[in-house]
Structure 1
Amino acid sequence: MNSEELKKFAVEAGATRARIADLDRLRGIETMPPDLLDGFRCAVSMAIALSDSIIETITDRPTPIYASHYSRVNALLDEAALRVSRYIEERGARAMPLPASQVLDAERNLSFLSHKAVAVAAGIGWQGKSLLTVSPDFGPRIRLVTVLTDADLVPDEPLRNRCGGCTKCTDACPAGAIKNVNTDSHYASRDEALHFERCLHHVRDVCASMENIKSSICGVCIKVCPWGAKKRAKAA
């Protein structure tokens, strides 16, 4: 199977960016179930860019239009993942699309696996101080989905971390959750980068209780990241 043609199809299916991760880079990552990655060789990581105009409505809290947009983009990601899975299966390989946003362990806020970790391994972006995947083109203004496959694909290389000394997300976080700790590639655990319970409390108990906000979202660190702003400045 041609890796470049697969990525091109993923974009045609709705993704803004598509890259391939070598699952050997992710061995040992926590998954649900624990043997989720067994029998698979690669993962197709897909990103859809969020609307700049909608992200700009966020101030120190999420907005109803952002909550609606967030849900709609997740649905588009699931559709793209299904189409890519069918593309792979029609060419004789196995494929498993994983939902873009489905919490399996509510206490620890975990899903099947971390789409962000897959995206970092695939070179969609690097792991920012907020734990978000930061794309060089869109900053953290992306949503992600993953398709596991046993197809013999050529993986992409991870990107160099470019957060440097920036403190924008740390300074803006309304929960005071971001520790401003940098990493060359990825953090050993999310607690290394975040006061995770503060973040979880904020999105679940504060943001989700706001009028017309029914999702566990915030969005402040997404808005303030300079890498997302670079695209707007370039287009101006």
Structure 2
Amino acid sequence: MTTTHFQEELLVEIKNQGADFIHFVDISHLSGEQNKGYPTAILFGIALSKTYLRKVAGTPDYVEQMKSSKTIENDEFYLTEMKTDGIANRIEEFLVENKFEAYSQSENNIIKTGYFNKEHRKTPLPHKTIAMHAGIGWIGKHNLLVTPKYGSAISMCSVLTNAPLKSKREEPMDSRCGDCTICRKVCKTGAIKGNLWEYGIAREKIIDVFSCTTCFQCVVQCPWTQKYFNNN
């Protein structure tokens, strides 16, 4: 099987599992700590439904309600995160079955393999970093990826591999947040600092991850996300 045919087969496999977008990204320029020695990342994601986003946007304490009622496992975002993680694990299996090396960056796998720093709540290669090198968005003032098409209303995962895939690398987009501070205003804990992201900036200047309660309001109130779910 040629490289082109294999990549097409892989693309169909990921699409059939429900991904809304897929990118093959060149990460060979990153440090060994980040890319684990793999030259390519397969990045994919699923967009959250507009109905769900409207519901969360209209219910500021939505996440708190889900937690207090112990129904968070029925939440669409939670279920979508589980789905993208599952897809990543299956892609890893698919690549290994085809005699290539691969590493799924699903939550369970990065924790199991010690790739996630629990003390600092970070991993050397976040999906959003790969997404920036794919050229699909920028980092917002809430420290999340923002895309022109979906805003921040996506769940992403990635797989690192040495499979001979045709990949590309884009320069990270400049922030398009401008003077907007909506995410900072809706953040009840003050975790969001309101600073524009720029390449190399310390995460602590953007957000205090230890104060974040994952209320999701910074996502649904973002004008880019609202443009997505209000666009019929």
Give the match for residue 149 of structure 2: 137
What's 1:32 paired with? none
Change (3 A) 1:159 1:60: same
Checking the alignment, whether the CA contact within 8 Å between 2:86 and 2:106 is kept in structure 1 is no
Q: Which residue of 2 aligns with 1:50?
A: 48
1:55·1:66 contact (CA, 8 Å) conserved in 2? no
Select which of 74, 80, 83 maps to 2:90: 83
Structure 1 residues 223 and 171, CA gap change in structure 2 (3 angstroms): same
Judging changes above 3 Å, is the alpha-carbon distance between structure 1 residues 195 and 78 closer, same or farther for their aligned structure 2 residues? closer
Letter in 2 for 1:27: S
In 1, Cα distance between equivalents of 2:172 and 2:118: 31
Aligned to 1:193: 206
1:151 positional shift:
2.1
1:123 partner amino acid: G
Distance verdict in 2 for CA 1:26–1:129, change over 3 Å: farther
Give the match for residue 23 of structure 1.
27
Partner deviation per Cα, 1:189-220 (whole Å, 9 max, x = no partner):
21121233332xxx1xxxxxxxxxxxxx3101
Whether the aligned pair in 1 keeps the contact of 2:53 and 2:229 (CA below 8 Å) is no
1:85 CA drift (Å): 2.4
2:166 equivalent to 1:169: no
- 2:14 partner amino acid: A
Answering whether residue 218 of structure 2 is matched by residue 221 of structure 1, we say yes
- Tell me if the contact between 2:191 and 2:211 (Cα under 8 Å) persists in the aligned partners: yes
Amino acid at match of 1:107: E
Over 3 Å counting, the alpha-carbon distance change for 1:166 and 1:36 in structure 2 is closer
Matched, 1:9 2:13: yes
Which secondary structure state, in structure 1, belongs to the residue aligned with residue 82 of structure 2? helix
Q: Return 5+ residue gaps in structure 1 as ranges.
A: 29-34, 204-216
The 2-side partners of 1:8 and 1:174 are apart by 42
Aligned partner of residue 57 in structure 1, secondary structure: helix
- RMSD, aligned CA: 2.6
* 1:179 aligns with one of 173, 189, 193: 193
Map of 1:69 onto structure 2:
76
TM-score normalized by the length of structure 2? 0.78
Distance verdict in 2 for CA 1:229–1:83, change over 3 Å: same
Q: Partner letter of residue 89 of structure 1? A: V
Query: Residues 26 and 164 from structure 1, CA distance in 2 versus in 1: closer, same or farther, beyond 3 angstroms?
Result: farther
1:198 aligns to what SS in structure 2?
A: coil
1:146 counterpart SS class: strand
1:94 maps to 2:91: no
Report Cα offsets for 1:59-83 as digits up to 9, x if no partner. Answer: 3332427662232112211221133
Is 2:120 aligned against 1:108? yes
Distance 2:29 2:185 in 1: 32
More displaced, 10-19 or 84-93? 84-93
Aligned length: 212
Change (3 A) 1:234 1:56: closer
CA deviation after TM superposition for structure 1 residue 8, in Å: 4.5
